[in-house]
Amino acid sequence: MTDGSATIGFAHGARGTHLAHLYQSDPLRVMFPRTAGDEPLQAALITTSGGLVGGDTHQVCITAEKGADAVVIGQAAEKIYRSDGADCRIDITLDVGETAWLEWLPQETILFDGARLRRTTQADLTPGGRLLAGELVVFGRTAMGETVSSGLLHDEWRVAVGGRAVWADAQHWDDAAYAEVENPVSVATMVFVGGGKTELATVRGLLDDPPSGVRAAATCIEDVVIARWLGSDHAALRRHFADVWGGFRHAAAGWADSMPRLWHV
């Protein structure tokens, strides 16, 4: 069993956003790819073990202090292997200061048949901060014809602004849920905090006319915009997710309307 952790802190100074704090322990590692001068500082999160098994735990804490702009991206898909009964846990904390912009953009979580994962994403924002965060889950390695018919996925989100809870949600898949859905392939979530109905209209415009095999919709609760995807074709869902993410970050903050290069590696 492994107990990995990564803590990344970004701050804003006279020369723009810089790394203020970094702690990492195996199997989590953090790298800092080069980015264009007009893009936020970027950090890449790497799991050197190649995946998680039952009993493993990962803790990730990311802070963007007042005025900082940063993107944290997964270096590769996260694999959750079959468990003999123990759950693995991933706990993510995202803290966003006033006028800060933070993107949390992990790549796919791939569940093997019998995998057991409990994941919690806790976002705490100071009023005036903005967060764009997401998750993608793939049920089996679809290119190899794998499917998932047993196991556990409990994926929970909690969002607070100014110390007040504004949105909480969880999706729960267990043996009974898998039995109700024939060969689930992939689901995805995109959450934006710090906007409102204007941003909802933007997201819905970008979600319009999804590709064949993909269903998508969005809603807004207080100042939290939530978009969700369900797909029987993961490649098509991934492309659509990337198009919406890129288009939205450009409309909301003026960043490039594309994904980081690592997304396409």
pTM more than 0.75: yes
Strand partners, 86: none
Burial of 122 (0-12, 13-18, 19+ CB in 10 A): middle
Q: What single-letter DSSP state applies at residue 53?
A: -
When pLDDT is averaged across residues 119-124 and rounded to a whole number, the result is 98
- Specify the pLDDT at position 77: 92
Evaluate if residue 132 carries a pLDDT over 70. Answer: yes
Strand partners, 63: 9, 95
Residue 265: pLDDT band with limits 50, 70, 90? low
When pLDDT is averaged across residues 227-247 and rounded to a whole number, the result is 95
Residue 1: pLDDT band with limits 50, 70, 90? confident
Ranges of H-type helices in the chain: 175-180, 197-207, 234-253
When pLDDT is averaged across residues 42-70 and rounded to a whole number, the result is 96
When pLDDT is averaged across residues 56-62 and rounded to a whole number, the result is 97
Residue 227: pLDDT band with limits 50, 70, 90? very high
- Specify the pLDDT at position 195: 83
When pLDDT is averaged across residues 2-23 and rounded to a whole number, the result is 95
When pLDDT is averaged across residues 26-31 and rounded to a whole number, the result is 95
Helices 197-207, 234-253: inter-axial angle, 10-degree rounding: 140
Residue 127: pLDDT band with limits 50, 70, 90? very high
- Specify the pLDDT at position 229: 96
- Specify the pLDDT at position 255: 96
Encode pLDDT of 99-115 as tens digits: 999 999 999 999 999 99
Evaluate if residue 147 carries a pLDDT over 90. Answer: no
Cα–Cα dist 140/13, whole Å: 44
Cα–Cα dist 140/227, whole Å: 23
